[in-house]
Structure 1
Amino acid sequence: MRITAVLTAREDGNKLPIMFIMKGHPGGRIETNEVPTFPEGHFYAVHEKAWMDARVWKQFLRSVLHDDIEECSVILVDNFEAHVSEESTKIVQEELGSHLCAMPPIATSVCQPLDVGVMAPFKRHLRELWLYEEMIDSDDEDPDSLTAKQKRLAMIKRAIAAWDLV
């Protein structure tokens, strides 16, 4: 089981809803049966490897960013080809009324603006919440007996709680 959590923050510190990317087949069982049961207020996508690709990136732009851009903004992205494609630039300009600004190639290896202030606390809270759940559940049933569906939902809820603590 694999889930990617896409965390986004505005320059003013406002945290946007999380986009979760689940490993599965687009249009398959997870997307049709499970996604509708996931917590509201966040966004969900399904990808064969739980990765961001051009399709998921377009969904991110149109769902996560679309409602949170209040005025012309600069959207800072790494140089991943889906992020900087002509289609992405067009969506950002025409649908979001903003500008797409890509960091120079290989700059993310030396400049990770969210790593210290956002990602580190998020991962710390995520780990603390998981350990707390392990302590509470240790007397109950065997955690290995949880279904993949239950594990996905637990991970999503834990990530949302950790994001709320950042």
Structure 2
Amino acid sequence: MPPRYIWSQRGGSPKLSKGENHSYRMTAVLTIRRDGLKLPILFVIKGQPGGRIDTNEFPSYPAGHYYAVQNKAWMDSGVWQQYIWFVLAERVTGKSVLVLDKFESNVSAEGKETASLLGYDVCALPPNATSHCQPLDVSIMAPFKSHMRDLWIAEDMVSDNSDGNDDDWMSPAAHLKWRVMIDRAIKAWDKITPEQVRGSFFKAIPKPKHP
């Protein structure tokens, strides 16, 4: 079964040690628009710009979504700049408000300046507030993760005995698992309906009632 919980020894920490983190981890950036539009997913994979994954692997990945490399598979200022120009700028036009997690790359002076050039005002949510007033966390992430679990159960799992070493992020096993996770995330994202997206904004950011 796909995991829902982290089990740990009584009195111990549930956190994973550095050595236990999978080398094929990735970041998936999800964005929705108030009118019900789901933007393409940005997948951030461990690698170097201009390296083999960037130049040879990405062209074979599913079209309609975006891919970037970063040495820790995380959102940094460079990846955020790519996302603003290649994803947001093409689909969010005119004066708009970006409701963002308070990641450093999102709320940095450089990030805000770029957003301003495109007519965006950045609304950085305070800590521990996303579950109450960020539309994705309020109504979208739970069904998205549920779809991910259902797909995990339904699909043929990648064998742990496949060729290659998981500790080597350049191995064939790592590349295969990246592709499986990408395909699964895209299928789960496709299952989120425009009605769910629109409803998430009404629930997280209700319109004020006039007396």
TM-score of the pair, normalised by structure 2: 0.69
1:124 match: 146
Are residue 83 (structure 1) and residue 106 (structure 2) matched? Answer: yes
Structure 1 stretch 29-38 or stretch 96-105: which is displaced more?
96-105
Partners of 2:161 and 2:138 lie apart in 1 by 33
* Aligned counterpart for 2:48 among listed residues 22, 25, 42: 25
Are residue 9 (structure 1) and residue 9 (structure 2) matched? Answer: no
Partners of 1:100 and 1:115 lie apart in 2 by 18
2:82 match: 59
1:89-145 C-alpha deviation (Å, 9 max, x unpaired): 111111x222122223453366443224111111111111111113xx6xxx94531
Structure 1 position 82, deviation (Å): 1.2
TM-score of the pair, normalised by structure 1: 0.86
* Aligned counterpart for 1:162 among listed residues 183, 188, 191: 188
Partners of 1:111 and 1:70 lie apart in 2 by 23
* Aligned counterpart for 2:162 among listed residues 138, 145, 164: 145
* Aligned counterpart for 2:64 among listed residues 16, 35, 41: 41
1:114 match: 136
1:12-46 C-alpha deviation (Å, 9 max, x unpaired): 22110000011222322211110111111101011
Partners of 1:61 and 1:80 lie apart in 2 by 15
Partners of 1:45 and 1:29 lie apart in 2 by 12
CA RMSD of aligned residues (A): 2.0
Partners of 1:142 and 1:108 lie apart in 2 by 36
1:58-109 C-alpha deviation (Å, 9 max, x unpaired): 1111111111113211111122221111211111111x22212222345336
* Aligned counterpart for 1:102 among listed residues 101, 111, 124: 124
- Unaligned regions of 5+ residues in structure 2, if any? 1-23, 164-172, 193-211
1:73 match: 96
Higher Rg of the two aligned structures: 2
Question: What is the identity, as a one-letter code, of the residue corresponding to 1:151?
Answer: K
Structure 1 position 160, deviation (Å): 0.6
Question: What is the identity, as a one-letter code, of the residue corresponding to 1:77?
Answer: L
